[in-house]
A and B are shown apart, each in its own frame.
Chain A
Amino acid sequence: MNLIALSVAIVAGIGFLCALILSLASVFFAVPVDEKAEKIRECLPGANCGACGFSGCDGYAAALSKGETTNTALCVPGGNDASSAIAKITGGEAGSVRPMSAVVLCQGNFHNVEQKLEYDGVETCKMAAQLFGGPKSCSYGCIGFGDCVKACPYNAIFICDGVARINPDSCKACKTCVSVCPKGLIEMIPRDDVKTAVLCKNCDKGAQTRKQCKAGCIGCMKCVKTCEAGAVKVENNKASVDYDKCTGCGKCHEACPVKCIDLLKL
């Protein structure tokens, strides 16, 4: 009997002591929680994509709460809703977020390009790109193993005919895919209204490009001549559109002989 009482007393005593120390510690070493940051954190989408330039949503919330930044428009996935919600908490002015969508600038699908080698290695774009610039005849184009598909936190990207395509309805413009693509094919394009975009990144000369891809930009300058707004220019044997100047008239699309300029409705 005595032994039982002693053992119970010892275990209970140690348990009580531990509880006492822990409860005292939780009082004396309590960390004040930043309530403002918590509230701001709730307004953010929680994708931790890093588009704002801080380390995840927590980092951005903490920076806003401490006043390290007053710009409420840095969260692109959250958009204007998040911006105005944050502005209500911080008491500052809500900045407006320009809605963007990511677009894969390549049309090198199975119909337009050919396979220059039989690739049998690890099926990631990063690995395939190291072997002669990828298995397709155009070494500037989309490899189509879907590194961006795996990286997208919103499942907005899919592979269609060997080329990555982004669903603008699901895209939250977090830019995660932009840094993943080994060919740098993904660009952010403003969603405002109809825009034209050059769906090619091939820097080779026209004749060379023609051999590689049926829809590759050959740098023929026709788009530059037709554009009334002066938004299109050709550099490095490929055309590019200044999205701020583009009016979306579609004349360059009609003029383009290879149809690598497309009208996007984002």
Chain B
Amino acid sequence: MKWFFSIIMTAILTNNYVLCKFLGICPFLGVSKKTNTAVGMSAAVIFVMVLATITTYPINLLLVKCDLEYLQTIVFILVIAALVQFVEIILKKYIPALYNSLGIYLPLITTNCAVLGVVLLNIQNGSGFAESVINSFGAGLGFMLAMVMFSGVRERLEGNDIPKFLQGLPITLVAASLTSVSFLGFTGVVEGIFG
């Protein structure tokens, strides 16, 4: 139980994929204008991250067996893209309500570097299957935390009088960097708690 929480907390706080590893910045800046779209996008990311880890794990075993580890990146891009398309088709058929809310985000995730990053880093760290799945779930939760927090910051920014030269993307980037700096404070926290 302890290692489970340790992995999740590490993925959410110390190794936050958006704010500490700077992966998945595109949706982080693009879809964080409103809290409900941010939640929708993050839910889609969690879903796809876990599924991608589950499907790429056996494929990686195959690649390792053939001594072709250098093909990981290209094969995983291929598999994740196909997987997202497949999930989109299934959702459209069986859960149209979810499709309507996640539908626009799913194609965005097809080539999301956070998803690919989670999968590749899991392998680099030499994690086992269970550990990889938990880690990718945690990474998704971390993505959600960053998105929801940042959408709150952006909604606050809307009501403020921002100097003209900072309006739009510049102030968003400044806010993003400040949020990211605040996450530096979590370094060592998880080790401190779980030893």
The reply on A1 being an interface residue by CB < 8 A is no
Interface residues of B in 132-164 (CB under 8 A from A): 159-161
For B82, give its contact among A7, A18, A31 (CB under 8 Å). A18
Given contact pairs A122-B159, A122-B160, A127-B159, A22 touches B85 in the complex (Cβ within 8 A): yes
Q: Please give, as numbers and ranges, the residues of chain B lying within 8 Å of A22 by CB-CB distance.
A: 82, 85-86, 89
- CB neighbours (8 Å) of A15 from chain B are 78
Q: How large is the interface on A (under 10, 10 to 19, 20 to 34, 35 or more residues)?
A: 10 to 19
Q: Mark A3-15, 1 if CB is under 8 A from B, else 0.
A: 1001100110011
Complex CA–CA separation, A29 to B96 (angstroms): 12
Q: How far is the CB of B60 from chain A (nearest CB, A)?
A: 12
Contacts of B161 in A (CB 8 A): 122
Complex CA distance for A6 and B66, rounded to whole angstroms: 8
Kindly name the residue among B62, B71, B81 whose own CB sees the greatest number of chain A CB atoms within 10 A: B71
State whether A18 and B79 are in contact (beta carbons under 8 Å apart), knowing that A6-B68, A25-B90, A29-B90 are contacts in the complex.
Answer: yes
Is there an interface contact between A25 and B89, defined as CB atoms closer than 8 Å? yes
Is B21 an interface position by the 8 A CB rule? no
User: By the criterion of a CB under 8 Å from any partner CB, how many residues of chain B are at the interface?
Assistant: 24
Cβ–Cβ contact B71 & A11, under 8 A = yes
Within 8 A of B (CB), among A1-40: 3, 6-7, 10-11, 14-15, 18-19, 21-22, 25-26, 29-31
Identify B63's interface contact among A10, A18, A25, A26, CB under 8 A.
Answer: A10
**Complex interface: chain A residues within 8 A of B94 (CB):** 29
Task: Please report the C-alpha to C-alpha distance between residue A15 and residue B78 in the assembled complex, in whole angstroms.
Answer: 7
- Give the distance in Å from the alpha carbon of A15 to the alpha carbon of B85 in the complex: 13
Among B32-80, those with CB < 8 Å from A are: 59, 62-63, 66-68, 71, 74-75, 78-79
**Residue of B62, B78, B89 with highest tally of chain A CB at under 10 A:** B89
| CB neighbours of B92 from chain A (8 A) | 29, 31
B2 beta carbon closer than 8 Å to chain A = no
Complex Cα spacing A54 to B50, Å: 36
B residues in contact with A14, CB < 8 Å? 59, 75, 78-79
Q: How far is the CA of A10 from the CA of B85 in the complex (A)?
A: 21
- Give the distance in Å from the alpha carbon of A203 to the alpha carbon of B79 in the complex: 67
Query: Smallest distance from the beta carbon of B10 to chain A beta carbons, Å?
Result: 31
Q: Please determine whether A10 and B75 come into contact, CB atoms closer than 8 angstroms.
A: yes
Which chain A residue lies CB-closest to B92? A31
Which of A's residues lie within 8 Å of B, judged by CB? 3, 6-7, 10-11, 14-15, 18-19, 21-22, 25-26, 29-31, 122, 127
Q: Show 30 residue pairs from A and B whose CB-CB distance is below 8 angstroms, ordered by the A residue.
A: A6-B66, A7-B66, A7-B71, A10-B63, A10-B66, A10-B68, A10-B71, A10-B75, A14-B59, A14-B78, A18-B78, A18-B81, A18-B82, A19-B82, A21-B82, A21-B86, A22-B82, A22-B89, A25-B86, A26-B89, A29-B89, A29-B90, A29-B92, A29-B93, A29-B94, A30-B93, A31-B92, A31-B96, A122-B160, A122-B161
Chain B residues in the interface with A (C-beta under 8 A): 59, 62-63, 66-68, 71, 74-75, 78-79, 81-82, 85-86, 89-90, 92-94, 96, 159-161
